[in-house]
Amino acid sequence: MSLIVTHRPSPNFNARKAPVSILVLHYTGMETGEAAIERLCDPEAGVSAHYVVEEDGAVLQLVAESDRAWHAGMGAWAGRKDVNSASIGIEIVNGGHEFGLPAFAAAQIESVIALSRDILSRHPIAPDGVIGHSDMAPDRKQDPGERFPWARLAAAGVGLWPAADAPCAIVDDVGSALKAIGYPVGAAISVDQAVMAFQRRFRTSRIDGVADAETRARIGQVFAAYRH
């Protein structure tokens, strides 16, 4: 599909301090797209993203890719702590958990894929650098949520999704394996919190932070597929 981008500049950005290596996907988590866009452009709110994808698939650009948008906040991925400096952020209009976790519209996902492919063609972001906000901030964030179609994106070349019969590494220590994948397990983030974020992304049938046999096997598959 062709990608039409409408400019809606936000004042909320500053200079990058690192090259781009991560793509962070979010949901807006507000009642309407317009409310979210207003907030992302409000200097008082102090938040932004490079792009917003609306429910009908319309794409808005708020911040230039060369600048540092303010979407990630506290957290880390694969040892990178200033995720805003190292990433491009896409906000996907969706009410999220607070508004009943509505399904993502097909047209919206098609635009997210087209936009992501466009971004990946212009920046050295490895497949394992495509993450959800909850992956880099498991203690604070749940977005884009367990209804987000990661497998569909991976099938289109955006991010990794090991198949059900993919090779599986043996996981002795769950915390170490999640850390090796990129999760910020450490002083501020417990293994249980990281397991919950992992389940929200890769094993959505039960999101309880318990590393059961199925979760451990899935961690082994993702560990085998990820190369930082």
Catalytic residues: 91
Q: What is the DSSP code (8-state) at residue 166?
A: S
Q: CA 211 to CA 174: how far, in whole Å?
A: 8
- Nearest to Zn ion of 128, 135 (CB atom): 135
Q: CA 134 to CA 204: how far, in whole Å?
A: 13
What are residue 220's phi and psi, to 5 degrees? -60, -40
Strands 51-53 and 59-61 come out as: antiparallel
- Nearest to Zn ion of 50, 133 (CB atom): 133
Q: Which residues of this chain interact with Zn ion, rule CB under 5 A?
A: 26, 133, 143
Specify the 3-state DSSP secondary structure of 172.
Answer: coil
Minimum Å gap between C-beta 228 and Zn ion is 22
- Nearest to Zn ion of 25, 125 (CB atom): 25
Minimum Å gap between C-beta 164 and Zn ion is 28
Q: CA 151 to CA 122: how far, in whole Å?
A: 22
Q: CA 115 to CA 57: how far, in whole Å?
A: 10
Beta partners for residue 77, in sequence order: 80
Minimum Å gap between C-beta 95 and Zn ion is 13
Minimum Å gap between C-beta 212 and Zn ion is 27
Work out the number of other CB atoms within 10 angstroms of the CB of residue 222: 25
The set of residues, in sequence order, having a beta carbon less than 8 Å from that of 148 and lying 6+ positions away, is: 25, 27, 92, 104, 132
Strands 130-132 and 13-15 come out as: unpaired
- Nearest to Zn ion of 97, 123 (CB atom): 97
Q: Can you state the percent helix, strand and coil of the chain, rounding each to 5?
A: 35, 15, 50
- Nearest to Zn ion of 133, 218 (CB atom): 133
Minimum Å gap between C-beta 64 and Zn ion is 20
